[in-house]
Amino acid sequence: MGKDSSDLFGALFDAQKVNRVVPVLVPLPVPEAYSYAVPEGMAVEPGSVVQVPLGPRQVIGVVWDGTDDVRLDPKKLRPITLAFNCPPLTREMRAFIDWVSAYTLSPPGLVARMAVRAPAALDPEPMVEALRYRGGEPERLTPARARVLDLTRDEMPWTRSGLAHAAGVSASVIDGLVKQGLFDTVFLPPPPVVALPDPDYVEPRIEGPQKQAASEIVENMQAGGFSASLIDGVTGSGKTEVYFEAIAEALRKGRQVLILLPEIALTASFLERFQDRFGAKPAEWHSDLSPRLREKVWRGVVTGEVRVVAGARSALFLPFEELGLIVVDEEHDPAYKQEDRVFYNARDMAVVRGRIGDFPVVLVSATPSVESQVNGQSGRYHMVHLPTRFGEAAMPDLHLVDMRRHPPDRGGFLSPVLLRAVKKTVENGHQALLFLNRRGYAPLTLCRVCGHRFQCPQCSSWLVEHRFKGQIQCHQCGYAEKTPEACPECGTLDHLVACGPGVERIAEEVEKHFPDARTIVMSSDLLGGVKRLRLELEAIAKGEADIVIGTQLVAKGHNFPLMTLVGIVDADLGLANGDPRAAERTFQLLSQVTGRAGRTGLKSHGLLQTYQPQHPVMQAIVSGDPSAFYEREIGEREKALLPPFGRLASIIVSADARADAEGHARGLRAAAPRVSGIAVLGPAEAPLALVRGRHRFRLLVHGRRNSDMQAYLRQMLANGPKVRGSVHVQLDIDPQSFL
Ligand code: ADP
Ligand code: ZN
């Protein structure tokens, strides 16, 4: 079927004249595509983005693969309402969506929805109206008019507002000249959302081991086809410079590039660095973009106008026209796991997308995930090492502070050892970072008289005091109330005590010890949002703070030249929960945070406050030899058949009533097929037993590495009880969270 986009796309059709049937994925949790009739004269093909009626609504869907069902009479089906004027999703993109759907056991329509934008992005942007000097002189030449004419006499077109701005005149001055017939109205294509990056804008900045690393990766790419590489290098070793060369290679081949970053909204410095290397910024993709900009970027990506996107995990579902490389920076970061509707890990799915699209994928980390580490060792990923920091910079000297031997003052959390180090650092004119991965003032508030604990009314979690805001908040659901003066249980006034520290409380302690120091608290919940955080990160980088107190926000990728001390307030914090990745996570987070220090050649230190200095994770971090940690961790996983040596899937059953959730979970357990190599654990009440008023039960399915987990789960769900009432069943393949 021919396609004449000029008059067919975007038009409405007579619903009566239909000639064939196509499958369309609609954004609903249903297992397969729905059938729609194609009105006569409408050209659609697999991948076409369309609008279709669904009940009383109109929704956006995607024409899918599969043969038209000849048994269906097109006249009895509802017709597609319209086809948008945008390129269809490529065959690769459709295969990727099908793959993710099958792997995560998510409805294909919900996966496809992640790839398609709001209607405004689906049609081309309108042309921009502009003015071009036609000739002639105004009746009266005022200075303002003269300025306008000076700018326009070369007959280059200007937008009305652009011209007014450039000439420093009001719009009415321009209107006056237009009225006198001095200008023609012309239409210009809308400006591109970003300029084109140039792979050879500057000479590459790589030397020593970086050169070797870059050439290995580029050679890999020149061989063509899919490959997965892992750049494993300490913080500050130049991993970014190395993968820039991979990007340059992909650009030279005329392919588009996707760079995934865990905290893109906060990495303004990354965009500038990219611009220094390629002469233009990449397009950004994250949830803090305005809807209009998102539409422009989406459209630029499908049409091929945008060559490089730097984005958060959701950028993986952008329908690139000719994607040729994905870089996953900080590949170990838990932020790559989406736990909402479609549960997926963008790092793993990036590798899948590369395999389907037959192009290379480069994973990057200073502390690779155990999964990637094993893939690297087995040769499945091509491993590239950068063992030392670039230039003068040395890794910080790391020491444990045994809190049993050096306890803090009563009511305090900072040991005398750490306080002395902070003092010295500030006296030297350098910066200290105190890291505590806990927002707010105190994780628990209780009444000294009756012991009442403040709990969220809708969740099984304690309310966290946020003293700056005068609130107690639930970190699960966002519930907040004004911090009460009296205990709601016994009525006693002023007897509430804060238990344990959050960053705000550490700030208070710092204030007491260093009243003259300039301190900044960095935490995602503070007022001002991303804008303020960006400004504060810049201020810190410029040396405008002496002591920074922060959550994991400060751990990621930032470069603070004057930072020579990192103090970990509670190194044991992440080890306590029953998560199989607790050791790995703690190791990664603490390595990342201590890696903030000494990036410019100044001698630097890291002090980790711990009550268990003998713990293997603590020992591994201070030894400066990550391989010992990985070896041990990999051994433990192998013994217990934990990922990547075995497979896990979670089933989370929730309902308004506890009995409903529990009953359904038990029903699923009873329906579990009996096969060797796969076992079901639970159901058990989830550690977060109540979230937003919903009761939660969990089952954990544990299988051998080669077991077909998806087939097993599908069978379990099919044999299990029907989902009724408020019951919701959520599957989580390769779970990261066990709460
Ligand atoms: P990583 O990504 O491994 O943390 P970066 O690529 O950010 O390391 O490099 C750390 C610092 O060293 C950056 O400030 C970077 O500009 C600088 N750098 C790295 N390699 C080079 C190089 N070959 N020439 C000049 N500067 C470099
Ligand atoms: Zn809550």
Task: Read off the pLDDT of residues 271-302 as tens digits, 9 standing for 90 and up.
Answer: 999 999 999 999 999 988 888 899 999 999 99
* Strand order from edge to edge, sheet including 646-655: 678-691, 694-704, 646-655, 728-733
Q: How far apart are CA 400 and CA 617, in angstroms?
A: 11
Q: Which atom of ligand 1 is nearest to the CA of 242?
A: 6
Could you report the per-residue pLDDT of 59-86, keeping only the tens digit for each? 999 999 987 666 777 778 899 999 998 8
Ligand 1 pocket member 531 (CB < 6 A): no
Could you report the per-residue pLDDT of 646-681, keeping only the tens digit for each? 999 999 999 999 999 999 999 999 999 999 999 999
Q: Name the pLDDT band for 1 (thresholds 50, 70, 90).
A: very low
Q: How far is the CA of 390 from the centre of ligand 2 (A)?
A: 46
Work out the average pLDDT over 690-714.
96
Could you report the per-residue pLDDT of 304-328, keeping only the tens digit for each? 999 999 999 999 999 999 999 999 9
**What confidence score (pLDDT) does residue 24 get?**
96
475 or 280, higher pLDDT:
280
Name the superfamily (CATH) of residues 209-383.
P-loop containing nucleotide triphosphate hydrolases (3.40.50.300)
pLDDT of residue 493 exceeding 80, the answer is yes
Name the superfamily (CATH) of residues 5-121.
PriA, 3(prime) DNA-binding domain (3.40.1440.60)
289 or 199, higher pLDDT:
199
Ligand 1 pocket member 538 (CB < 6 A): no
**What confidence score (pLDDT) does residue 391 get?**
82
Say if residues 374 and 577 touch (Cβ distance below 8 Å). no
- In eight-state DSSP terms, residue 636 is H
> What does the chain come to in residues?
739
Q: How far is the CA of 236 from the centre of ligand 1 (A)?
A: 6
Rg (CA), the chain: 29
Helices of type H across 63-180: 91-104, 108-113, 143-152, 160-167, 171-179
Q: How far is the CA of 237 from the centre of ligand 1 (A)?
A: 6
Ligand 1 pocket member 591 (CB < 6 A): no
Q: Which atom of ligand 1 is nearest to the CA of 206?
A: 23
**What confidence score (pLDDT) does residue 17 get?**
59
Residue 515's contacts (CB-CB under 8 Å, 6 or more residues apart) are none
Which residue's alpha carbon is at the smallest distance from atom 9 of ligand 1? Answer: 238
Mean pLDDT of the chain: 91
Q: How far is CA 190 from the centre of its chain?
A: 29
Ligand 1 pocket member 206 (CB < 6 A): yes
CATH number belonging to domain 646-733: 3.30.70.600
**What confidence score (pLDDT) does residue 70 get?**
66
**What confidence score (pLDDT) does residue 321 get?**
92
Q: How far apart are CA 591 and CA 369, in angstroms?
A: 13
**What confidence score (pLDDT) does residue 621 get?**
87
DSSP letters, 366-415, are: SS--HHHHHHHHTTSSEEEEE-S-STT--PPEEEEEETTTSPPPTT--S-
**What confidence score (pLDDT) does residue 4 get?**
39
Work out the average pLDDT over 170-181.
91
**What confidence score (pLDDT) does residue 7 get?**
39
Which residue's alpha carbon is at the smallest distance from atom 19 of ligand 1? Answer: 238
Domain boundary assignment for the chain: 5-121, 128-188, 209-383, 393-438+537-634, 646-733
pLDDT of residue 9 exceeding 80, the answer is no
Q: How far apart are CA 132 and CA 166, in angstroms?
A: 15
The pick from 235, 389, 390, 594 for probing ligand 1's pocket by mutation, whose C-beta has the most ligand atoms within 8 angstroms, reads: 390
Work out the average pLDDT over 414-436.
96
Ligand 1 pocket member 409 (CB < 6 A): no
Say if residues 212 and 220 touch (Cβ distance below 8 Å). no
535 or 118, higher pLDDT:
535
pLDDT of residue 12 exceeding 50, the answer is no
pLDDT of residue 95 exceeding 90, the answer is yes
pLDDT of residue 6 exceeding 60, the answer is no
Q: Which atom of ligand 1 is nearest to the CA of 241?
A: 6
Element holding 292 (H helix, E strand): helix 291-303
**Count of CB atoms within 10 A of residue 311's CB?**
23
Asked if omega into 580 is within 30° of 0 (cis), the reply is no
**What confidence score (pLDDT) does residue 45 get?**
95
Could you report the per-residue pLDDT of 370-394, keeping only the tens digit for each? 999 999 999 999 999 998 888 877 8
pTM score = 0.89
Residue percentage of the chain with pLDDT more than 70: 96
- List C-alpha distances in Å: 358 to 235, 272, 326, 382: 30, 30, 11, 16
**What confidence score (pLDDT) does residue 311 get?**
96
Q: Do domains 5-121 and 646-733 have the same CATH topology?
A: no
Class of the domain covering 393-438+537-634? alpha beta
Could you report the per-residue pLDDT of 532-559, keeping only the tens digit for each? 888 888 899 999 999 999 998 887 767 7
pLDDT of residue 16 exceeding 70, the answer is no
Q: Name the pLDDT band for 597 (thresholds 50, 70, 90).
A: confident
**Count of CB atoms within 10 A of residue 520's CB?**
19
Q: Which atom of ligand 1 is nearest to the CA of 237?
A: 3
Ligand 1 pocket member 595 (CB < 6 A): no
Asked if omega into 644 is within 30° of 0 (cis), the reply is yes
**What confidence score (pLDDT) does residue 580 get?**
85
**What confidence score (pLDDT) does residue 628 get?**
86
Residue percentage of the chain with pLDDT more than 90: 69
